[in-house]
Amino acid sequence: MADLSVDLGFRVLKSPLITASGTFGYGEEFLPFYDLDILGAIVMKGIFRDPRPGNPPPRLHETPAGLLNSIGLAGPGSAALQEIIRRLHARTAVPIIVNVCGEDDEEFAEVAALFSAMDEVAMLELNISCPNVRQGGACPAQDAGHTARLVRQVKDRVRKPLIVKLSPNAVDIVAVAQAAQDSGADALSLVNTFLGMAVDITTRRPVFANVYAGLSGPAIKPLALRLVREVCRRAYVPVIGMGGIASGHDVLEYFLVGAAAVQIGTINFREPAAALRITGEIEAEMERLKIKSLSEIRGQLQA
Ligand code: SIN
């Protein structure tokens, strides 16, 4: 029997598969599809202190090999999410990760502290990389100095493991990763979506009100894999890889470049029970490669 468990150093997960923020609702929506206990963890959709309407429609646009989104971190606010988490925790033992957002550094720290205090919450993921909040896609993860200040401020206020989610749209993602880990991040997750756009040729206008949007899905997998490799070569904290993962084969690729766990995102929209299939595929690949544990291949890329 393959051992799917992975050790993040601060916590062992029973599976390498974590569902990515914004692609898995608040977990409850997926309870009818499979037993969420098979997952390593789930990440809640990003949350601010107060409810947010998000960006005006359209918010989604399909491309030949991916999905552009400009949701704008719509959400019910922290108080409502606390209720949802209590309900979900009563129905499943899967570890819950809260994706923490903020309009400014103080709000990031306040929201992080609030969820850090909840027994039902296993970890926090700091979302400093959403490209859909400010015009032009600007976010804290594009700047190593801002990332360092923000991570330190949040870390001072929390007692749960802190994962920092990085942006592929930074000029130097390795520098930002180093700033995050040097400032106290317990783990890094990458990558969030790539900045892209679409044009309506009839109206001659951008499809999205914000002009730019975030691209995810199979199109970004080779790009994300490279960035995960670059960061893993310098990281001394565990790296959670993501970007276009849709099969067990994809998961093993991310482990070979050094990921300690992975997140699956866009595939959840097309195939709500994707994690179930991918779990079986990981086991089959491990059997084919005669691997008993994913730690045997982590970072073992021969290049
Ligand atoms: C969004 O809500 O716009 C996407 C979330 C993200 O990219 O972090």
Give the residue among 79, 97, 92, 93 at the shortest CA–CA distance from 22: 97
Tell the residue nearest (CA) to atom 2 of ligand 1. Answer: 73
20 pLDDT more than 80: yes
Q: 1 C-alpha vs ligand 1 centroid, how far in Å?
A: 37
Q: 6 C-alpha vs ligand 1 centroid, how far in Å?
A: 27
Residue 3 per-residue DSSP state? B
User: What are the residue numbers of the active site?
Assistant: 130
Read off the pLDDT of each residue in 262-266 and give the average, rounded to a whole number. 98
Residue to mutate (ligand 1; options 73, 108, 191; most atoms within 8 A of CB): 73
Read off the pLDDT of each residue in 158-179 and give the average, rounded to a whole number. 98
Residue 65 per-residue DSSP state? T
38 pLDDT more than 80: yes
The rounded percent of the chain whose pLDDT value lies above 70 is 100
192 CA: nearest ligand 1 atom: 7
What would the pLDDT profile of 62-84 be if each residue is shown by its tens digit? 999 999 999 999 999 999 999 99
Measured distance CA(234)–CA(93) in Å, rounded: 33
pLDDT-based confidence at 217, cuts 50/70/90? very high
Domains and CATH numbers, the chain: 6-55+69-193+216-296 (3.20.20.70)
42 pLDDT more than 90: yes
Read off the pLDDT of each residue in 16-34 and give the average, rounded to a whole number. 97
**Ligand 1 lined by 263 (C-beta under 6 Å):** no
**Ligand 1 lined by 140 (C-beta under 6 Å):** no
**Ligand 1 lined by 214 (C-beta under 6 Å):** yes
Measured distance CA(26)–CA(43) in Å, rounded: 8
pLDDT-based confidence at 283, cuts 50/70/90? very high
160 pLDDT more than 80: yes
Integer Rg of the chain from CA: 18
Predicted pLDDT at 1 = 72
pLDDT-based confidence at 135, cuts 50/70/90? confident
**Ligand 1 lined by 126 (C-beta under 6 Å):** no
Q: Return the sign of the alpha-carbon dihedral for residues 286, 291, 297, 301.
A: negative
pLDDT-based confidence at 91, cuts 50/70/90? very high
Q: 131 C-alpha vs ligand 1 centroid, how far in Å?
A: 7
287 pLDDT more than 90: yes
Read off the pLDDT of each residue in 257-270 and give the average, rounded to a whole number. 98
Predicted pLDDT at 23 = 98
**Ligand 1 lined by 181 (C-beta under 6 Å):** no
Decide: residue 36, CB within 10 A, 0-12 exposed, 13-18 middle, 19+ buried.
Answer: buried
Q: 290 C-alpha vs ligand 1 centroid, how far in Å?
A: 38
Amino acid residing at 269: F
Predicted pLDDT at 35 = 97
Predicted pLDDT at 80 = 98
Read off the pLDDT of each residue in 272-299 and give the average, rounded to a whole number. 98
99 CA: nearest ligand 1 atom: 8
Tell the residue nearest (CA) to atom 8 of ligand 1. Answer: 130
**Ligand 1 lined by 232 (C-beta under 6 Å):** no
232 pLDDT more than 80: yes
139 pLDDT more than 90: yes
